[in-house]
Structure 1
Amino acid sequence: MRSAAARPGPVHVVARRAPRARAAATLVTLTLAGLVLLALSVGAAVTLGPAEVSLVNVRDVILNHVAGTQIPVRASEDAIVWEERLPRALVAAACGAGLGLCGTIMQSLLRNPLADPYVLGVSSGASTGAVVVGVLGLGGASLGLSGGAFLGALLAFGLVLALARMAGGGHDRVVLAGVASTQLFSAVTSLIIFAFADSDGTRGIMFWLLGSLEGVRWADVALCTAVVLAGALACLRWAHVLDAFAFGDEVAASLGLSVRRVRLSLLLLTALIAATLVSVAGAIGFVGLVLPHAARLLVGSRHGLLVPTTVVLGAIFMVWVDAGSRVAFAPTPLPVGVGTALVGVPVFIVLLARRRRVQ
C-alpha cells in the first residue's frame, strides 16, 4: 500500500498542470492576436485598388450586409467591396492558411523540410483536369473548370499512392512518386494546350494555371473556409500525432499508432485541402514551403502551436501578396502564383541562411 508521502500532493499536481495551462494561454493569445491582425489586413487590402475605398466605407458595407444596418453607402462602393474585393481577400486568406497547413502536415509526415502540397502532384493534376475541361470540353457543362481541377488533383494523388505502394511504401517513396506524377501531368497539360488550344484559350488557361483569384464569389469563400477550418481543427486534435511523426515512425509506433494508416489519412486530408484550393485559385506555389519554416522560427516545432501559427501567417501573407499583385500591375492584375514566387523565394533564402547560422 502506498504511503501518503509517496502520493503526488497538490503541489505536484499543480506543477504538472502549469505547463499545460501556460501552453493553452499562449495558444489563445497568439491565435487572438493573429486573427486581429488578419482582420486588419483584410480590411486594409480591400481598400486598395484602382477605385479607392476608405476603411470606414468598408466597415459600413460589411455592417450593412452582415448586421442589417442601413448606413448610406454609394452603390458602386458597395459592389466593389462586397462583390469583388472582400470575397477575393477572404479566398486569398483561406488559400494561404490551407496551403501553409498542408505544408506543415507534409513536412512532418515525410520528414522533409522541402515538402509542400505540390510534392504530391496535386497542383499538376489539377492543372491537367482544368485543361481537359477548358480545352477539350470534356464534361464542361456539368463540371466546370474548378470541378475538372478537383477531379484531376484527386486522380494525381491516387496515382502517387499507387506508385508509392508499387515501390514498397515509405515516406521517401511518396516523395519520389510525387515527383514522377508532377512531371507526367505537367507533360500531359502542355501536350493538350499545344495540340488543341487556340491563342485566346491558351492565354486564359495559362493565367489560371499561374494562380488567379479573378472572379471568385461568396460560394468560393464558403467552400475554401469550411475545408481549411475542418483541416485545421483535425490537425489541432492530432497535434501529438504530428509531433510523433516528426521524430520518426518508431516514435509514432511506440504511441500505439498505426503508422501507415495514420499517414495515409493525413496525406489524404492534405490532398483534399490542396485540391479544393487549387480548383478555386489555380496553382499557387511556395506558400506551403515557406510559411511552416517561418512559423517554426516564431513558436518552435510543437504542432499545438505550429499549426495555428502557420494558418494565420499563411492567411496574412496571401492577403498582402494578392493585394500587391492587384495594385502593382493595375488594371491587369499579376497572377497571384507569380507574386507568391517573387516574394517566397527571397524569404526562403533568408530562412535557409538563418537556419544555417543557428546550426
Structure 2
Amino acid sequence: MSAVAPMSRRALTVTAFLLLTLALAVTLAVSLGPLDIPAGTVWTIVAHKISGLGDASGWTVSEEVVVWQVRLPRALLAVVVGAGLGIVGAVTQALVRNPLADPYLLGVSSGASLGAVMVIVYGGAGALAGVGLPTAAFAGALLAFGLVWLIARRGGGYAPMRLVLGGVAVGQLLAGLTSFVILRADDEQQTKGILFWMLGSLGGTEWRLLPLPAIGVALGLLALLARSRPLNALLMGDETAAGLGIDVARLRRELFVVTSALTALMVSVSGAIGFVGLMVPHVVRLLAGTEHRKLLPLSALTGAVLLVAVDVVARIALEPEEIPIGIVTALIGAPLFLYLLDRRLERR
C-alpha cells in the first residue's frame, strides 16, 4: 500500500498542475493577438454567451466576436488536437515498442494530406466539387489506413517491424502523389495555401469543427484506457504478453485501428503537426512513470497544453503574419529527438 499511495498522490499533483496550466494557456490564447483583450473580459464574455448573464455593455462588439467566434473555438480545437496527438503518441510507441516512434509513422497523415490537397486543387469541379477539406482529409487517411492494414496482415501477423515498414512505404507513396498534385496547382496562392495546411494550421476554426474530433478523442481515450493493462504487458515483449494470456495479434490490430482513426481525425481538422506525439509521452513518463492508466490521460493533458502554447507562439511571433504550427513544433521537437536518439545509442 505504501508504494502505491505516493505514486497516486504524485499523479494527482501532476494532473492538477496540468489542468491549471491548461486553463492559463487557453486564457492567454484567447486574450493575446492583434487585439489584446483582458483575461477578465474574456471569461465574462464566455460566461455571458453560455448563460446569458452579465452586462454586454462591458465590452465591445469586436471583442465579443474575436473571443467567441475566432479565438475560443481555435483554442479549444488546439486542446482537442493536442490531446489526441499525445494519446496516439503514447500508444504508437507501445504498439511498435519504440520510444522514438511518432504517430505519423503509420502513414495516415500522408493519406490525409493527399485528400486535403486534392480538394484544394480540384475541389472546384468534377467529383470533388462540394467536398469539404476535413472530409477529404479523413477519406485520404482511411485510404492510407487500409493500405497499411493490408500490408500488415500479410503473413498473418502484426509484428512491429511489419507495421513500421508498411507505414513508411505507404507514407512515401502517398507523399509522392501529393507532390504530383501540388505540381498541378494552377496558381501561386493555391500552392501557398496547400503548403501552409500541410505544415499544420488551426486558422479558420469554427464551432462546427469541434464536436467530431472532441467526441472521437474522448471515445478513443476510453477505449485505450480499457486496454491499459495489455498495453503495459506489450512493452515487455510479445512472448511475455502472450504468457499473460493476451492475444497479441488481436491487441495490436485493435490498437492500430484506434490510433489510425484518431490520427485521421486530428489531421483532417488541423493538418499534419509533427513531433507532438513524440515529445509528449517522454515528458509524461518522466513525471508519472510508464503505467498506461496514468500515461494516457496525462499525455492528453500535456499534449493539449503544448499545442495551445505552440499555437499562441505561431499566431503572435510574427504578427500580423501567422507561422504554420508544424514549423514551431519541428523547431522544438527536432533537437529533442536528436537528444533522445543520442541517449538511446549511448545505452547500446
TM-score (norm 1): 0.89
**Contact 1:294–1:351 at 8 Å: present in 2 too?**
no
| AA aligned opposite 1:337 | G
Q: Any residues of structure 2 matched to 1:224-239 within 5 Å, and which?
A: 224-239=213-228
Of residues 124, 128, 142, the one that matches 1:154 is 142
Q: Deviations over 1:195-233 (max 9, x none)?
A: 344322211111111111110111222222221122222
Report the equivalent of 1:3.
none
Whole-angstrom distance in 1 between the partners of 2:195 and 2:326? 11
Report the equivalent of 2:250.
261
Report the equivalent of 1:34.
18
| AA aligned opposite 2:34 | P
| AA aligned opposite 1:89 | A
Of residues 116, 120, 144, the one that matches 2:132 is 144
Which segment is superposed worse, 320-329 or 85-94? Answer: 85-94
Of residues 162, 178, 187, the one that matches 2:176 is 187
| AA aligned opposite 2:101 | A
| AA aligned opposite 1:184 | L
> 2:184 is paired with a residue of what secondary structure?
helix
| Residue 114 of structure 2 is aligned to residue 128 of structure 1 | yes
Of residues 86, 106, 120, the one that matches 2:92 is 106
**Contact 2:100–2:337 at 8 Å: present in 1 too?**
no
Whole-angstrom distance in 2 between the partners of 1:315 and 1:61? 23
Report the equivalent of 2:34.
50
| AA aligned opposite 1:148 | A
RMSD: 2.0
Cα–Cα, structure 1 residues 192 and 357, in superposed 2: closer, same or farther, change >3 Å? closer
| Residue 53 of structure 2 is aligned to residue 69 of structure 1 | yes
| AA aligned opposite 1:287 | V
**Contact 2:121–2:184 at 8 Å: present in 1 too?**
no
Which segment is superposed worse, 62-71 or 135-144? Answer: 135-144
Whole-angstrom distance in 2 between the partners of 1:28 and 1:129? 41
**Contact 1:286–1:345 at 8 Å: present in 2 too?**
yes
Of residues 75, 80, 83, the one that matches 2:69 is 83
Higher Cα radius of gyration: 1
Of residues 83, 95, 115, the one that matches 1:97 is 83
Whole-angstrom distance in 1 between the partners of 2:167 and 2:342? 27
Report the equivalent of 1:345.
334
Cα–Cα, structure 1 residues 227 and 268, in superposed 2: closer, same or farther, change >3 Å? same
Report the equivalent of 2:266.
277
| Residue 304 of structure 2 is aligned to residue 315 of structure 1 | yes
| AA aligned opposite 2:87 | L
Unaligned runs of 5+ in 2: none
Which segment is superposed worse, 224-233 or 150-159? Answer: 224-233
Cα–Cα, structure 1 residues 318 and 248, in superposed 2: closer, same or farther, change >3 Å? same
Report the equivalent of 1:59.
43
Whole-angstrom distance in 1 between the partners of 2:96 and 2:12? 29
**Contact 1:131–1:193 at 8 Å: present in 2 too?**
yes
Whole-angstrom distance in 2 between the partners of 1:357 and 1:64? 56
| Residue 231 of structure 2 is aligned to residue 242 of structure 1 | yes
**Contact 1:43–1:55 at 8 Å: present in 2 too?**
yes
Q: Any residues of structure 2 matched to 1:197-236 within 5 Å, and which?
A: 197-236=186-225
Q: Any residues of structure 2 matched to 1:282-293 within 5 Å, and which?
A: 282-293=271-282
| AA aligned opposite 1:113 | P
Report the equivalent of 2:102.
116
Whole-angstrom distance in 1 between the partners of 2:204 and 2:228? 36
TM-score (norm 2): 0.92
| AA aligned opposite 2:162 | R
Quote the sequence identity (%).
46
Cα–Cα, structure 1 residues 197 and 186, in superposed 2: closer, same or farther, change >3 Å? farther
Report the equivalent of 2:314.
325
Whole-angstrom distance in 2 between the partners of 1:241 and 1:143? 40
> 1:304 is paired with a residue of what secondary structure?
helix
> 1:113 is paired with a residue of what secondary structure?
coil
Whole-angstrom distance in 2 between the partners of 1:25 and 1:220? 36
| AA aligned opposite 1:306 | L
